[in-house]
Every structure is written in C-alpha cells, then in structure tokens.
C-alpha cells in the first residue's frame, strides 16, 4: 500500500522522486565536492557541502571547480577556516565575485566553532542561524550531507518544477515562491534518499532542463512523460523571462605605480558599503560620469605633474554595473611617499585579495595566488 502524499503533495510524487534518484545515480557529473565521506551516517562532508554551496550561489560550476579545490586544500576543515585571516579567505575567493559570500562563510565557520563545537549543524533551523545561510543553503546542506528531507529551491529547481507543472510564471516571481517551496517539500518528503533527490533535481535543471536560449534536452529527461510543458510543447515558453537587471555605467581609471625594484602600490578598499569591500587595488578613481583628465587623475593619486597615458582599456560586467577600465602605468618618482597604501614586492602581489579587473590591470592571472604561503597584508595607512 502506497503512503499518502505529503502536505501540498500529489499522488505521483513518489514516482517523480524515484525517477530523479535513479537518473542521478547514473547521470551525475564527477564534481570534487561529491566525494563520499569516511564518517558513517553522512552522505557528503558537511563542511565541503557548505563551502561548495556558498561558492555555487550565482556562479557557474565550471568557474567553481578549481577555486573549490584550492580553497579546500588551503583550509581543509571548518576549524582551519575559522582561524584563517580574512584577507587569506578573500584571496582564495578571488575570481568568484560576490565577495560578501566569502566573508559570510568565514563568519559562519567561526560560529560553528564557537556555538556548535566545530561540527556543522545537522538541522536546517540551526544552519540558518549561521551568517549568510538562508533557506536554500540550509536545506541543501541538511539534505545533501545529512539526508534530511529539507526542500531546496534555486533557479534550476524552479525551472524544472514550473515546466513539470506548466506553471506560467517567472522563476523569481514572488507570487509563485510559496508554491515552489511547497512542491519541493512534498517531493523531497516522498524521496527514498533526500540527498540523492535534491542533488538530482539540481543536476536535472543544470544539465537537461536548460534555460533559454538553449533548448532543453527533453529526450534525456527522466520526467518527460510527466512534464506538462513538454506535453503541450511549451518548454521554451516556461518559465517566463526574468526582468532584466538595470546596470549603471561606471568608469574606472586605474593607475599602476611601480618602483624600480618592481614593487607596486596597493591600497585597500573600504571595509563596507562598496563593491569589492575590503579587497586591494592599485590606486583607482571611479565615476559614473566623465573621467578626470590626465592632470586631474595624476593629482588624485598623488602624482601631480606626472604625465599619464592609457596603457589599455577593457570592460567588466557585474550584476548591476557595466564597468569600463582604463589602465595607466607609471614609475614611482624618487622619494615618493603615497598618502595611503603600501608598496608590495612583485613576488607577493598575487597573494593579495584583488578583484578580477584589478588582477588584469596589474598583469596577474585570475588564480588565487600561492595559497600555502599567503602572507597577512600590512595595514593600509589611511
């Protein structure tokens, strides 16, 4: 006798859940955080799951893989992360963007050590007490690591559920969120393994039930016989397109000041209230209007009377900003004493927490630097 559906559930939920679990067992990608732990009773290492989920928020898997490996190699346990200097954490995060996630993860690790004796909590309610851990991340860690029947809803999950039920809405429509969470909860409750089901549901959205302009790979979908959007030929219409974010245009003039010994002047951005808060950069002037001329720019960075000419220009697109960078490079005058910032030896430059555009401006790769020997940067003067 089959068990009744969970609250908000439907009679076919168990069939749907099993179909996803079976499909995931053979179709899942080989990803570094999908390593079974040695400890009994765990599906995944909970610390690794927490790090991976923080990195994967609003970031493609392909960009996360190498960063995740380097992060775990440098900080293999939650206690290591809790003890780490914030600048080290930010340097390891370089290239992933949304640096507040790194700061929140660092703060969460400290709380885990202080409040939970160094063990990542098993239940979603306790997980949500951690800095930066919301309903989705709490559900993901609780289910993936501890096999708890907790629902998850992200963009991939929302797309699968909206197409499965042919709901004509955008995945970020506030009016449809309660229904999405209700359906996710009913399905994970019906699953034999919440861990396999939730990972499978996310995997299905990421690799098969693709968003436009890509066409979903319906012949490979384990839910194609149940999918109402597929049955009515509306796969590309559902979900509705999200409202496009409005981007502000920002002009950034970067002045790379190098000494004869190769040391480069870096200054630290304010700790809060700005993009890339707390990261380091070459002296930079930002404006949403026209940039200052060469003379005004030289004066702004403390090099009055020096001739500045652009070395290169490039664009960088952020979620809410379209940024145009102009890079100048100049030799430090003899006896030059900057009003703020520090000169950093060339051998240490890659070890500082720098945004992706600043790494390009400074001629560095997008890697996180030599994590094993990363130094604590000196305090900025001013």
Our measurement of the distance from residue 364's CA atom to the centroid of its chain's CA atoms, rounded to an integer in Å, reads 21
Residues in the chain: 382
- Can you say how many angstroms the Cα of residue 167 is from the centroid of all Cα atoms in its chain? 28
The Cα–Cα gap between 32 and 101 comes to 20
DSSP state of 5: P
> Degrees (nearest 5) of the Cα angle 44, 47, 49?
50
End-to-end CA, the chain = 72
What dihedral angle (degrees, nearest 10) is formed by the CA atoms of 125, 130, 132, 138?
A: -30
Q: Which 3 state secondary structure label does DSSP give 31?
A: coil
Q: Is the peptide bond before 213 cis (omega within 30 degrees of 0)?
A: yes
CA 316 – CA 366 distance, rounded (Å): 14
- For residue 216, the 8-state DSSP code is P
Check 53, 199, 203, 235 and give the catalytic one.
Answer: 53
Q: How far apart are CA 382 and CA 379, in angstroms?
A: 9
Does residue 308 contact residue 234 with C-beta atoms inside 8 Å? Answer: no
Give DSSP secondary structure letters for 307-368.
Answer: ---EEEEEEEE-SSEEEEEEEEEEEPPTT---SS-EEE-GGGGGGS-B-HHHHHHTT--SS-
Q: Directed axis angle between helix 177-190 and helix 155-165, to 10°?
A: 90
Token pair belonging to 126: 């306790």
Query: Quick count: other Cβ atoms within 10 Å of Cβ 380?
Result: 13
Backbone φ and ψ of 285, nearest 5° = -110, 125
Say whether 53 is catalytic: yes
Catalytic residues, by residue number, are 53
């Amino acid at each position: 006798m089959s068990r009744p559906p969970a609250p908000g559930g439907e009679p076919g939920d168990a069939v749907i859940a099993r179909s996803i679990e079976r499909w995931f067992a053979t179709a899942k990608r080989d990803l570094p955080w999908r390593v079974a732990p040695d400890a009994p009773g765990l599906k995944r290492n909970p610390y690794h799951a927490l790090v991976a989920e923080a990195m994967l928020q609003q970031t493609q898997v392909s960009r996360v893989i190498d960063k995740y490996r380097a992060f775990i190699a440098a900080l293999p346990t939650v206690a290591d992360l809790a003890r780490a200097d914030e600048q080290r954490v930010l340097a390891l995060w370089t290239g992933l963007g949304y640096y507040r996630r790194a700061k929140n993860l660092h703060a969460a690790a400290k709380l885990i050590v202080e409040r939970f004796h160094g063990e990542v909590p098993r239940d979603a309610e306790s997980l949500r007490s951690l800095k930066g851990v919301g309903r989705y991340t709490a559900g993901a860690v609780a289910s993936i690591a501890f096999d708890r029947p907790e629902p998850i809803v992200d963009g991939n999950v929302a797309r699968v559920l909206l197409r499965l039920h042919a709901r004509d809405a955008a995945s970020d429509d506030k009016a449809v969120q309660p229904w999405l969470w209700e359906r996710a909860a009913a399905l994970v409750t019906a699953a034999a393994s919440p861990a396999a089901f939730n990972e499978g549901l996310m995997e299905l959205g990421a690799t098969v039930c693709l968003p436009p302009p890509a066409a979903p790979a319906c012949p490979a979908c384990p839910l194609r016989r149940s999918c109402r959007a597929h049955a009515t030929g509306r796969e590309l219409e559902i979900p509705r397109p999200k409202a496009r974010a409005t981007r502000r245009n920002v002009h950034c003039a970067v002045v790379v000041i190098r000494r004869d010994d190769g040391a480069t002047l870096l200054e630290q951005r304010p700790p809060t209230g700005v993009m890339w808060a707390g990261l380091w950069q070459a002296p930079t002037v930002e404006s949403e209007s026209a940039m200052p001329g060469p003379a005004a720019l030289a004066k702004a960075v403390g090099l009055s009377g020096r001739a500045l000419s652009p070395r290169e220009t490039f664009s960088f697109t952020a979620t809410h900003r379209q940024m145009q960078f102009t890079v100048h490079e100049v030799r430090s005058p003899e006896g030059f004493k900057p009003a703020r910032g520090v000169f950093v030896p060339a051998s240490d430059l890659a070890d500082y927490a720098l945004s992706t555009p600043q790494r390009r401006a400074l001629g560095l790769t997008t890697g996180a630097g030599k994590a094993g020997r990363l130094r604590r940067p000196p305090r900025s003067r001013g």
